[in-house]
Amino acid sequence: MMAPADAVSEQRLLETFLELVRIDSPSGLEADVAEYCRVALTDLGFTVTFDDTTPVTGSNIGNLLAHRPGMVPGRGLVLSAHMDCVQPCIGVEPVIEAGVIFSVGETVLGGDDKAGIAVILEALRRLSERRVPTADVQVILTVSEEVGLQGAKALSPDAVTGDVCLVLDAEGEPGGVVVGAPTHYTFEAVFHGQAAHAGVAPEQGKSAITMAARAVAGMSLGRLDDETTANIGTFNGGSATNVVANSARLTGECRSLDRVRVERVKSAMDGAMRHAAQESGGRVDIEWTKEYEGFRFAEDDPLLGIVESSMRAVGIKPRRFSTGGGSDGSIFFADGVSTLVLSSGLRDVHSIDESVSLADMESLTRLLCDVAERLAD
C-alpha cells in the first residue's frame, strides 16, 4: 500500500525525536513540548486547541487536541501519546550508538512517550507529502499521564471524536498490541484508635498501628492469580515510641483483568480493614478510587484485524498481549472509543537505561501511514 521511506524522511524522524527529548517536560510542565507540537501540527493543516483542564491536572497547559478534516469519507483515526516524562528528565542529552538512542546516563531518555509523538508527526508529514487521501484525523497529546493518567481523565468524554484510536505508549518492539488491561482500584485508609502512655497505662490505649497491621495480615496480597494482583503501598502512623498510636494510615490497591474478580478482592480488602478496626475497638475511614476501567478485546475484533493487516504489510509481526498496567487507552476505551495501545519500540522505560532504536520508530511510522490509508479505503 505505501512506499518505503527515503533517507531524508527517516533522518527527519530522528531529528524530530532528538528535538523533543531535549525539551524538558516533567509531569505538570508540558507547555514547551506542547508549543513545539502545536507549531508542527499547524504547519500540517491541523486546527489545534488546548482544553481547559489545568485546574484539574495542575499542569501549565491543557491537553492538546488537533483535528484535520478528511479528504475522503471513512472511519476517523485518532492518534495519541502523552507529553510528560518521569523524573529525572531535566536536561536530557541523547546519544546514538549503532542506530539506538540512549541518554548519556544521568536522566531517562524521555522516549516514553516522545517516541510516540515523533512517530505521529512523521507519519502525518509523509501522508501530507504524498497527498494520500485519508479520512478525518485527530491527534490527542495528553498531560500528566505519568502521575495517574490525569490528563486523559480530565478530558471531556466527547473529546475523542474518531472511530479508531491508536495510543503509542506500550513498551517493547513494534508489533505488540494490548488486547487486555485491568480494572484498577486504589484506597486510602485511616485507622483511629486511642492514645495512651505506652509505659504507664498502655491498657488504656487502642493502637491504630495494631489495627492496621492486623488488617494487612488478614489480606491476600501479591499475585493472586494470572490476572489479579493486590498490594499495600504505604503504612505509617504514630507519633513517638512511648505513645500508643491513635492514628495510622494505609494505602494500597488491587487490579484484575477479570471484572468480577477485582470487585471480590476489593471487598475482601475492605472487609479486612473494617474487621480489624472493630475487633480492636477502633474505627477506620476508607476511601476507594477507581483509577480506570479495564478492557478486553475479542479475538475476532475488526480493529485488531485492520491493525494486524497493516503490520504484516509493512513487515511487522503482530504480537497480542495483556498488561497489568493502565494507559490513556484505558480512559479512551471506557469512553466508548475503540482503542488499541501499541508497543512503540521502548526498552527499559522509567530508568536511565531507557532506549529506542530509529529502526523501530521507522517501522511504527510506516505502520501508522498504512493504517490511515486502510481506514480511508
Q: Which residues are catalytic?
A: 84, 145
| Apex 300 CA angle, 160 and 363, nearest 5 | 65
Strand, helix or coil at 235?
strand
Are 198 and 244 contacting, i.e. CB atoms less than 8 angstroms apart? yes
Instruction: Count CB atoms within 10 A of the CB of residue 172.
Output: 16
Cβ–Cβ < 8 Å for 142, 63:
yes
| Residue 117 per-residue DSSP state | H
Q: Is 322 left (phi over 0), alpha (psi -120 to 50) or beta?
A: beta
Strands 243-244 and 196-197: antiparallel
248-280 burial code (b ≥16 CB/10 A, e <16) = bebebbbbbbbeebbeebbebbbebbeebbeeb
- Could you tell me the CA-to-CA distances from 3 to 127, 314, 370 in Å, in that order? 11, 10, 10
